[in-house]
Amino acid sequence: MRFFDVYSLASRTVRGNKLRTGLTVAIIAFGIMALIGIITAIKAMNQKFTESFSTMGANGFSIRYKERNIRIGGGGGDELKVEKKNARREKKSSLGKPISIQEAEAFAQNYGFGAVVGLSTLATRNAIINFGTRKTTPNVFLFGADENYVTLNAFSVRSGRNFSRQEIQSAGNVCILGYDVARRLFKPSMDAAVNAMVRVNGIPYRVLGVLDSRGSSFGFSRDNVVVLGYRNVRRNFSQNGSFAIGIQVNDLHQVEEAMGEAEGVFRSVRRLNTTEESNFVMDRSDSVAEKAMNSLGFLTISATVIGLITLIGAAIGLMNIMLVSVTERTKEVGLVKAIGGKSRTVRLQFLIEAVIISVLGALLGILLGVLVGNGFSIVLETGFVVPWDWVGYGILICSFVGLAAGLYPAVKAGRLNPIEALRYE
């Protein structure tokens, strides 16, 4: 018999046993759904990490006195706790000396690479903003920054304007409201916030502008912020908070060179000699997302283990069903052999049946897994994700499972004696 004929016969047999086929397909689909669903969700999280932390793009980097405190499921803003892989590096970063306003300004004045340099500091995480009888909950992030903060953090001004250099240097009581804060205080007309007087922790400030929305990240809004001039923050709020320095170059290929020069300038600002280690850290904006994504590697391993365990169970179930099928179709096998069918033809038919069932389970599981995983991406507000590499792996794995599960039943069917098979009751 030709291969097409054998395939056609195997397909008809699969279609003729709908209940048995459906149960086996469901078992296999569940394993693939668990695997593909978790992988899809992880890719959605990776996409969100990239959006959340690569605010300056691949051509940006920052200088901080210690590594970012990255916590999954806590804090807010752009902070997510990534477990340090290198204990020595962790120890080094923990010994960092906070960056003072004088050091940050000295760096900005002496760094001559031709990049955009922005200074910022966190004043508090629980500010209260008032406008008339309306006020926010005490969870507003209050930042001190310069006129480059909006650009370096991928914000855009929805209405009003950005700080001027003069306003930063004079430490005037002016501010820029995040989208959520403006909506809370000035809804329905957020544009009315411009030039209005609000109170930040009881201190009056004139609103220069309102930032456009950047959405939320892992349940925490990136728009629940108020930005003041960093000199004003030093005068009215925190006196001791460390500064962060953001740098953005024009050309991606200049980043390494820019980082090298920045390190040299800041070591000079901190008066470190050649034998002393740097007591600050530098990281590229896209490397933060990479660190966070690497911390999710255990989820991929867990998903693979769960999927494989389920598939092993599915393979055992498929083998048992194929063995039952061999017993039930003993007369059919005897008839095929009696009219000239060879043992290898019978084996091939049973193998094809097992593979068809496995691939059907794979396709159903992939479809369900992608849908389940993208349900998570909807929660994270990311785009539709399809893990094409794992789609291919899923089909290959299920094909192998079908071959492995169908091999013994196929061999057993091929060894049946046609005369005894025809007598079987």
Count CB atoms within 10 A of the CB of residue 152. 25
Q: How far are the Cα atoms of 28, 210, 222, 280 from residue 360, in angstroms, in the given order? A: 9, 53, 43, 55
Which residue's structure tokens are 């990255």?
70
What does the longest C-alpha to C-alpha distance in the chain come to?
A: 103
The alpha-helical segments, DSSP class H, found in 381-414 are 388-414
Inter-residue contact 16 to 181 (CB < 8 Å): no
DSSP state of 175: E
Which residue's structure tokens are 């752009």?
78
Inter-residue contact 128 to 271 (CB < 8 Å): no
Two tokens at 331? 């007369």
**Quick one: which of 414, 403, 415, 395 has its CA closest to 353?**
403
Inter-residue contact 377 to 383 (CB < 8 Å): yes
Count CB atoms within 10 A of the CB of residue 105. 18
Q: What is the domain partition of the chain in residue ranges?
A: 3-50+296-423, 97-279
pLDDT of residue 231: 94
Residues paired with residue 118 on neighbouring β-strands, in sequence order: 246
Residues paired with residue 231 on neighbouring β-strands, in sequence order: none
Tell me the HSE value of 161 on the side-chain side, using a 13 A CA sphere: 6
pLDDT of residue 59: 75
Q: Rounded distance, CA 395 to CA 106, Å?
A: 59
- Each residue of 393-412: b (16+ CB within 10 Å) or e? bbbebbeebbbebbbebbeb
**Quick one: which of 218, 202, 198 has its CA closest to 210?**
198
Strand, helix or coil at 114?
coil
Count CB atoms within 10 A of the CB of residue 110. 11
Inter-residue contact 66 to 96 (CB < 8 Å): yes
Tell me the HSE value of 333 on the side-chain side, using a 13 A CA sphere: 27
Two tokens at 317? 């179930």
Two tokens at 214? 């950047």
Q: What is the mean pLDDT of each run of 10 residues along the chain (425 residues)?
A: 67 73 78 78 71 60 76 41 41 64 92 88 92 91 93 88 93 94 89 92 94 71 90 88 89 84 92 87 69 63 73 72 66 63 71 80 84 76 74 78 70 62 51
Q: Rounded distance, CA 120 to CA 246, Å?
A: 8
pLDDT of residue 14: 72
Q: Rounded distance, CA 169 to CA 232, Å?
A: 9
pLDDT of residue 176: 95
pLDDT of residue 229: 94
pTM over 0.75: no
Q: How far are the Cα atoms of 25, 49, 112, 239 from residue 117, in angstroms, in the given order? A: 58, 24, 10, 22
The alpha-helical segments, DSSP class H, found in 189-250 are 230-236
Two tokens at 235? 């005068």
pLDDT of residue 329: 62
